[in-house]
A and B are shown apart, each in its own frame.
Chain A
Amino acid sequence: MGDKRFMKGNEAIAEAAVRGGCRFFAGYPITPQNEIPEYLSWRLPEVGGAFVQGESEVASINMVYGAAAMGTRALTSSSGPGISLKAEGISYLAAAALPAVIVNISRGGPGLGSIQPAQSDYLQATKALGHGGFHAMVLAPNSAQEAADLVYDAWEYAERDRNPVLVLMDGCLGNIMEEVELPPMKELHDEDLPEWSLTRRNGRDWQGNITPIYTELILEGLNAMAGEMYKAWEEDDVKVEEFMLDDAEYVVVAYGIASRVSKEAILKLREEGVKIGMIRPITLFPFPKKSIRNLDFTKVKGIFDIEMTVPAQMREDIELQVMDRCPIYEYGRSGGCLLDDDGVYDAIAEIVKGEDA
């Protein structure tokens, strides 16, 4: 029997993390992600895990580094300003080849921005999560359910790759309550601890050392291996929803909350006879390049980049695949102002219906 609950996106992330094997959390409060630490503060002790409210974001990400080095499934969460503070630590996780999951429940920016939701951290998440040219896999759910599903399996990717995984979801989805069917608790045993973890003892080999410091040639080699890993992600790990593309003359590209609002507009436009569909990246990195590149541009007359940020940040990734084969339009709201059904519908209708709209 399924375990169905009415819960916030943030709570769904927290519970799914525990069920996915997370036993350590460190973080520092910031809206709109506070329900994650609030939930884990009582939930992790129930399953023998540890919750720490760190003295800062910097301290918290470094505690995650320590826990990950021991082979513990570790999590931290924050919102844009806090993720900036964690950037150094995330880069060190990538350098030390440590798996961990970082959640960004994003809000308006730049700077302190606003506490209200926005999708203004796409570029940070996909291009420069920290210094030194590394990437994390970036998962972008568009519902509380999908957030739970993706977080549940996030450590599988992180441990497979020995690399951090970022979950990017806006504060709107973090705070929306909706129905979530929770996955079962993963049973993890000591013998499942990764080979390299510092906890491998009790009669097994002690694997001495985890370090983010290397000599030049070794570092270059590791950089090249990371490059190969990113290429492999593009082959194996792209997640994308393709909606009503078969006969589409217009295609919306949208992720997260923007994809929900866009789909509502698409359904209405379809009823009115407009041939329109959507490509929804679920992994923002690796980006679903092929879905866009392989569109039939003899039919497609226009692409809409819909995001809850201004200006659109995904646009360059889309442009690289469209290669000037059709115009790209963008629509968004930002600063904590939310997208809404009518706004997105009107923006699309104005173009596809021309002057008559």
Chain B
Amino acid sequence: MKQSFVFSGSGGQGIMSAGITLAQTAIDMGKHATYLPEYGPEQRGGSAKCTVVISDDTIVSPLPKMCDHLIVMNEQAYAKFIDDLKPEGLLLANEARIKDEIERDDVFCIKANVDDIAQQLGNEKAANVVLIGILIGATDVVSREVFAKSLEEKFKDKKPGILEMNLAALEKGIAIGKAHKDERKA
């Protein structure tokens, strides 16, 4: 099974970091993964995009035209990449920055205000962890345990509380994703 993910938004929103950690977690689970970052020449605030492909088999091409999962963090990213989502694909939109109606009705959509959720937990930088939590809850693409372990590894030397906040962000995300999955089943 091969699945592709496009994360997009602007520099500073944790787009690249979300893509890398998702890919790394897949690899830690014994799957194959590729991660391709794309960004402009701006030092800050420019558009940021990354493509992650996860597969049980060796990945031939890391450049799919259409993705199975599209994660958009702002309106520009939504407008630019919405047509690259496969029919029946999953759109995950940051409600805090995407006010427009979602125009496509042939895709599944999760709208979540990940900025606010992360802020309430203590730091908006954790918004990308909420995103991955939603993906884990909605798709089972990677395991919650393995991802939590990678967070532990990443934040073990940080100030007390940072790891806990990120784990809380992960749980919040998983709950949102699960709710969507249950809704889809019903």
Residues of A within 8 A of B (CB): 6, 31, 115-116, 172, 175-179, 257, 260-261, 263-264, 267, 338-343
Q: Does B38 contact A (CB under 8 A)?
A: yes
- Assuming A261-B63, A342-B65, A342-B66, is B24 touching A172 (CB within 8 A)? no
Q: Which residue of B lies closest to A343 (CB)?
A: B65
Contact residue among B40, B41, B64 (Cβ-Cβ distance under 8 Å from A340)? B64
Residues of B within 8 A of A (CB): 20, 23-24, 27, 32-38, 40-41, 59-66
Q: Which residue of A lies closest to B2 (CB)?
A: A264
**B61–A260 contact, CB under 8 A?**
yes
**A179–B27 contact, CB under 8 A?**
yes
Q: Hey, which chain A residues are within 8 Å of B62, CB to CB?
A: 172, 176, 178, 260
Contact residue among B20, B33, B40, B63 (Cβ-Cβ distance under 8 Å from A172)? B63
Q: Chain B nearest CB: distance from A29 CB in Å?
A: 13
Q: Hey, which chain B residues are within 8 Å of A260, CB to CB?
A: 60-63
Assembled-state Cα–Cα distance A264/B4 (Å) = 14
Q: Hey, which chain B residues are within 8 Å of A115, CB to CB?
A: 40-41
Q: Chain B nearest CB: distance from A263 CB in Å?
A: 5
Contact residue among A6, A257, A267, A341 (Cβ-Cβ distance under 8 Å from B27)? A6
Q: Which residue of A lies closest to B28 (CB)?
A: A6
- Assuming A177-B23, A178-B59, is B35 touching A341 (CB within 8 A)? no
**A116–B38 contact, CB under 8 A?**
yes
Assembled-state Cα–Cα distance A293/B38 (Å) = 38
Q: Chain B nearest CB: distance from A6 CB in Å?
A: 5
Q: Which residue of B lies closest to A114 (CB)?
A: B41
**Which of B35, B40, B59, B61 gathers most chain A CB within 10 Å?**
B61
Q: Hey, which chain B residues are within 8 Å of A264, CB to CB?
A: 60-61
- Assuming A6-B27, A177-B20, is B61 touching A172 (CB within 8 A)? no
Assembled-state Cα–Cα distance A179/B34 (Å) = 8
Q: Hey, which chain B residues are within 8 Å of A6, CB to CB?
A: 23-24, 27, 33
- Assuming A172-B36, A177-B20, A179-B27, is B65 touching A263 (CB within 8 A)? no
Q: Hey, which chain B residues are within 8 Å of A176, CB to CB?
A: 34-36, 62
Q: Which residue of A lies closest to B61 (CB)?
A: A264
Q: Which residue of A lies closest to B59 (CB)?
A: A178
Besides the known contacts A6-B27, A175-B36, 12 further A-B residue pairs in the complex with CB atoms under 8 A apart? A31-B41, A172-B62, A172-B63, A178-B62, A179-B27, A257-B63, A261-B63, A264-B61, A341-B61, A341-B64, A342-B66, A343-B65
